[in-house]
Amino acid sequence: MTQRLAGAPSSARQSTVRTTNLALVLRTVCAATGPLSRADIAGVTGMTRATAARLADELVAGGLLDELEREPVPRRGRPATPLVPGARFTALGLQSDAGLLAARVVDLRGRVVAERVEPGDLRGSDPAETLAALGALTAGVLTELPSDSLLVGAGLALPGVVDAEAGVLLRAPNLGWSDLRPAALLAGHLPAGLDVVLGNEADLAARTVAEEAPGRPGPHRDFVYLSGQIGIGGAVVLGGRVTGSSGWAGEVGHVCVDPDGPACSCGSTGCLELFAGRHALLRAAGLPLDTPAGDLARLAAAGEPAAVAALDASAWALGVALAGVVNVVGIPTVVLGGHLAELADLLRPTLEEHLAARVLSARWRRPRVVSVPGPPAAGASGAALQVLEDVLTHPARRIS
């Protein structure tokens, strides 16, 4: 007797076709930079106009797509009805970082509906207290939502190792938190029934680069992302998707750059973070630890020797660590985020030089270092995008 396995892929039936095509229509509209007509959808997906129109009608009825007013176009033929992603569907993105708390609501069109970001030094803070403050922030944000908004879920970006499936934050070195369940601590402060999924801050920030709005690809599809906060997190994005064992991956900050180097709080030696983390950089430059990255950039650009030396040391360390990553995953594009984005122009020449020397395939695909402006608290946006992903993948579930 053979048992049906839990995770086994199940067979396709007629309804699967409808489900798949509903998702395809929705994703097509979301991926477009402007409104699409029913006929456009048919053209892009290869469906007949009849099919595309019927599916679009269902999505409109369910609020997953919105019909805009017809705009007069100087063209023959019946004017098209523009379709855009439904504005009612929204998700809450939260971030609790060493330097800030953020709550942001994003809709299916990728617009920020409401947000609050509160800077503050949260290193060594009490998790219950901090998450209560985040809950209060959230409560404020939620009052700003239009009454017809449909909040589909919430995501929380955390700077550390996360077991996303179990909902446990295992270790966030720079917050000083470990082994706790943030959803439980937030629960009392959020609307009942609102699920909170966890994610690594760098993973989620990388998502905002790969996806500039829900379902809409960003400028880069394959890249190594580096999130410079107090620590350094990272993510590998392949084909627009963050890869790696979700929540456990991306600890680029603890890649060893110099095995004979100084001891790191993680237990290893010579970690990248000790050379290119924000505090390490500022300490090497002889600046106060709360100096903004922009100030360091200006000093280095002006030729201040300690600042220049600090940036050189960090570019060297980034070169060693990133060359290893690029050699292993084979993706020559590096995207810098966080404080490293602000230093990107100064780091790039030295960093690209180190990468060219250490990456085996550099002669054929030269490693490039780019920076993406990104919103403050990108992790919060990424968390919202992650939650909305479920709507894009399973629109049929949202239709009565």
Partner DNA sequence: GCCTTATGTTTCAGGGCAGAACAAAAGACC
Partner DNA sequence: GGTCTTTTGTTCTGCCCTGAAACATAAGGC
Give contact residues for DNA (rule: CB under 7 A).
1, 11-15, 17-18, 21, 37-40, 46-51, 53-55, 57, 70, 72, 74-81
The interface with a copy of itself within residues 378-397 (CB under 8 A) comprises: none
Q: Which stretch binds a copy of itself (CB under 8 A): 134-142, 209-217, 258-266, 375-383?
A: 258-266
Q: Nearest CA to 80 among 68, 89, 90?
A: 68
Report in angstroms the alpha-carbon separations of 268 from 174, 213, 255, 273, 382: 16, 38, 9, 11, 30
Verify binding: residue 24, a copy of itself, rule CB under 8 A.
Answer: yes
Rounded least distance, CB 18 to DNA, Å: 4
Is residue 329 at the binding interface for a copy of itself, with CB under 8 A as the rule? Answer: yes
Instruction: Report, in Å, the least distance between residue 26 CB and DNA.
Output: 13
CA distance 11 to 176: 47
Q: Does 222 bind a copy of itself (CB under 8 A)?
A: yes
Cβ closest to a copy of itself, residue 50 vs residue 301: 50
Closest CB 38 distance from a copy of itself, rounded Å = 11
Residue 13 vs 363, nearer CB to DNA: 13
265 binds, among a copy of itself, DNA, none (CB under 5 to 8 A by kind): none
Q: How far is the CB of 144 from a copy of itself (least distance, A)?
A: 35
Per-position x/- string for 331-350, each x denoting binding to a copy of itself as judged by CB under 8 A, each - no binding:
xx------------------
* CB 255 to a copy of itself: min, Å: 4
Residue type, 119: P
Q: Name the residue nearer to a copy of itself (CB basis): 45 or 291.
A: 45
The number of beta carbons lying within 10 Å of the beta carbon of residue 357 is: 10
In whole angstroms, the minimum distance from the beta carbon of 5 to a copy of itself comes to 7
Measured from the CB atom, is 256 or 306 closer to a copy of itself? 256
Among residues 321, 335, 387, 396, which is the contact residue for a copy of itself, using CB under 8 A?
321
What does the H/E/C string look like for the chain? CCCCCCCCCCCCCHHHHHHHHHHHHHHHHHHCCCCECHHHHHHHHCCCHHHHHHHHHHHHHCCCEEECCCCCCCCCCCCCCCEEECCCEEEEEEEECCCEEEEEEEECCCCEEEEEEEECCCCCCCHHHHHHHHHHHHHHHHHCCCCCCEEEEEEEEECCEEECCCCEEEEECCCCEEEECHHHHHHCCCCCCCCEEEEEHHHHHHHHHHEEECCEECCCCCEEEEEECCCEEEEEEECCEEECCCCCCCCHHHCECCCCCCECCCCCECECHHHHCHHHHHHHCCCCCCCCHHHHHHHHHCCCHHHHHHHHHHHHHHHHHHHHHHHHHCCCEEEEEEHHHHCHHHHHHHHHHHHHHHCCCCCCCCCEEEECCCCCCHHHHHHHHHHHHHHHHCHHHHCC
Based on the shown chain and the rule CB under 8 A, indicate whether residue 192 belongs to the binding site for a copy of itself: no
C-alpha span between 214 and 212 (Å, rounded): 7
Question: Which C-beta is closer to a copy of itself: that of 16 or that of 305?
Answer: 16
Nearer to a copy of itself, 301 or 357 (CB): 357
Task: State the binding partner of 76 from DNA, a copy of itself, none, CB within 5 to 8 A by kind.
Answer: DNA
Task: Give 14 or 147: the residue with its C-beta nearer to DNA.
Answer: 14
Distance in Å, CB of 25 to DNA, minimum: 9
Nearer to a copy of itself, 113 or 177 (CB): 177
Q: How far is the CB of 254 from a copy of itself (least distance, A)?
A: 5
Task: List Cα–Cα distances, 162 to 168, 277, 325, 362, in angstroms.
Answer: 6, 20, 21, 33
Q: Is 213 a binder of a copy of itself (CB under 8 A)?
A: no
> Cβ closer to DNA: 18 or 283?
18
Identify what 38 binds: a copy of itself, DNA, none; CB under 5 to 8 Å per kind. DNA
Binds 49: which of a copy of itself, DNA, none (CB < 5-8 Å by kind): DNA
Q: Which of residues 119-178 bind a copy of itself (CB under 8 A)?
A: 161, 163, 170-171
